[in-house]
Amino acid sequence: MSVLKADGLSKRYGNFVALRNISLRVEPGECFGLIGPNGAGKSTLMRIAAGILSRFEGRCMLFGMDIKTDPEKIKKKIGYLPEEPSLYTRPRAKDLLAYFARLYGVRDGVYPKVREVLQLVGLEERAEDRVVSFSKGMRQRLAIARSIIHEPDLLMLDEPTMGLDPATADRVRRFILSQRKSGRTILLCTHYMDEAEFLCDRIGIIDGGSLVISGGIEEIKGMCGGTGLIEVILDEPDLDERQLSVFDSYDLIPGGIVGRAQLEEAYDVLNPNGIISIKRIRPDLKDSFVMLTEGNGDSV
């Protein structure tokens, strides 16, 4: 049984269509990445799956239950980290976590559990401090601790490393990896391609509210890259209008051109500019993403 099974999900905000007929599956124990440009609909999809948005079309089943009919039961099995994990700032870290532990139905040993998760995210030293004194990275880790306080079966993380410094982001990634290794199902929403490639088993690329593609990372890279990409480095990289027009009929992506015939023609056109090097390169997820989303957004 799939942990998450979405069928024909659509969501509108007024006249704006945020999601169009999206269907996907997340299997137990896997880390599924939702990637796409800003405003593609990733967070909306995650909010629907987390039971936060209740007004949508289609069907969303989690653990075999419908999120519309059994939201409370499903939410107990979900740990959700919102895109902006705004927290109450007055309470102490431990009290905030204890509150959410109780909300999620943890009855016995609340504070030992709080200490355990704070240790897990490296905040055990700050348990007594008020949240207001925490840095952004610490708040993010505290929010992650909040999402795992009740030991959920499915962890939904919406942009967990956004806006963090490299060291903290790396720490968060290692934490997610540890969760994945422990067998927890993870739905990760990100627009960092390297992060998705590093953490996810499968990904789904969303653009303009539609699911463009979903599958294993290698599978998607293969589909987008074909036999690979050719990288051409020119002595004089500024091409004039005539030289650029040669690419009009080709499947051009920034940084590369595809296919042998294209290479030969390009060679003839580009030769006067002085070719420094020409080599076949292996496409990464970023290339696939840019190709599939036609360069929309500002993902890296």
Partner 1 sequence: MEIAFDFGFLRVLRFEIASLVDDRRFLFGLVLQILIISLLVPFLVNYADKVGSGGNVLSTRAKGFVPVGFQGDGHRDILAVLGGFNRVKVIEVESWTEALEGLEIGKYCVVLGSIENDGELNVVYNEGDPRSLSAMKIIELISDSYMETHRRNLLEKKLTRRMENSDIAESEVVEEIEKMMETCLEPIVLSISTLAGGEDGKEEGLGEHVDPSPTGNSGDERIAKGNFLSLIFISLGLCFPLLSGSGIMIESITGEKERRILEGLIGSPVSGQSILLGKFTTAFVVSTIQGIALLIILGVVMRIQNVILISLFLMAVSLAVISATSLVAVISMGSKEANLTITVLYVMLFVILFGPLMLPGTVAWISPFTPMVRLAAGESLDTLSAMAPLLGCIIFTEISLIVCFRLFERDDYIFGPRPSFRELLVDFVSPRTHNLKNRATLVGICAGLATVPAIVFPSILLFPSVAIIGTLGIIPGLACAALVEEYFKPYGIYLLKPLPGRREIILLGALAGLVFSLIENLLFTVALLGMSTLGGSLVYIRYLLAPMLHVGLSVLVVEGFRRGGNFRATTLALATVLHALYNIVGILMVIK
Separation of alpha carbons 244 and 225, rounded Å: 22
SS3 118: helix
Q: How far apart, in whole angstroms, are the C-alpha atoms of residue 145 and residue 142?
A: 5
| Chain Cα centroid distance, residue 44 | 12
**Residue 144: count of CB within 10 angstroms of its CB:** 24
Which C-beta is closer to partner 1: that of 89 or that of 245?
Answer: 89
* Separation of alpha carbons 69 and 206, rounded Å: 26
Strand partners, 62: 4, 65
* Least distance CB 288 / partner 1 (angstroms): 31
Tell me which amino acid residue 80 is.
Answer: Y
For strands 229-234 and 275-281, give the pairing: antiparallel
Q: Find the shortest distance in angstroms from Cβ 254 to partner 1.
A: 34
Quick one: which segment of 26-34, 91-99, 115-123, 284-292 binds partner 1 (CB under 8 A)? 91-99
Of positions 28, 29, 82, 228, contacts partner 1 by CB under 8 A: 82
- Tell whether residue 80 is a contact of partner 1 (CB under 8 A): yes
Among 86, 182, 249, 277, binds partner 1 (CB under 8 A): 86
Residues 6+ apart with CB under 8 A from 190: 33, 34, 35, 159, 160, 161, 162, 196
Q: Which is nearer to partner 1, 159 or 287 (CB)?
A: 159
Query: With binding defined as CB under 8 A, does residue 58 bind partner 1?
Result: no
- Tokens found for residue 270: 């580009």
> Which member of 38, 57, 66, 103 binds partner 1 (CB under 8 A)?
103
Q: Is position 99 an interface residue for partner 1 (rule: CB under 8 A)?
A: yes
Q: Is 114 in the site for partner 1 (CB under 8 A)?
A: no
50, 145, 229, 292: which one binds partner 1 (CB under 8 A): 50
91 lines the binding site for partner 1 (CB under 8 A): yes
User: What are the φ/ψ torsions at residue 26 (nearest 5 degrees)?
Assistant: -125, 125
Instruction: Outline where DSSP puts E strands in 36-166.
Output: 57-62, 65-66, 78-81, 154-158
Residues 80, 30, 174: CA angle, nearest 5 degrees: 70
Shortest distance, CB of residue 227 to partner 1, whole angstroms? 45
> Which positions from 235 to 274 touch partner 1 by CB under 8 A, shown as an x/- string?
----------------------------------------
Question: What tokens were used for 153?
Answer: 């079966």
Residue 143 interacting with partner 1 (CB under 8 A): yes
Q: Does 85 interact with partner 1 (rule: CB under 8 A)?
A: yes
Going by the DSSP 8-state scheme, the letter that residue 279 receives in this structure is E
Task: Tell me which stretch binds partner 1 (CB under 8 A): 103-111, 171-179, 189-197, 233-241.
Answer: 103-111
How far is Cα 279 from Cα 243, in angstroms, rounded to an integer?
Answer: 20
Q: In the set 52, 223, 263, 269, which binds partner 1 (CB under 8 A)? A: 52
Residues lying near partner 1 in the complex (CB under 8 A) are found at 13-14, 47, 50-55, 71-73, 75-76, 78, 80, 82, 84-88, 90-91, 95, 99-100, 102-105, 143, 146
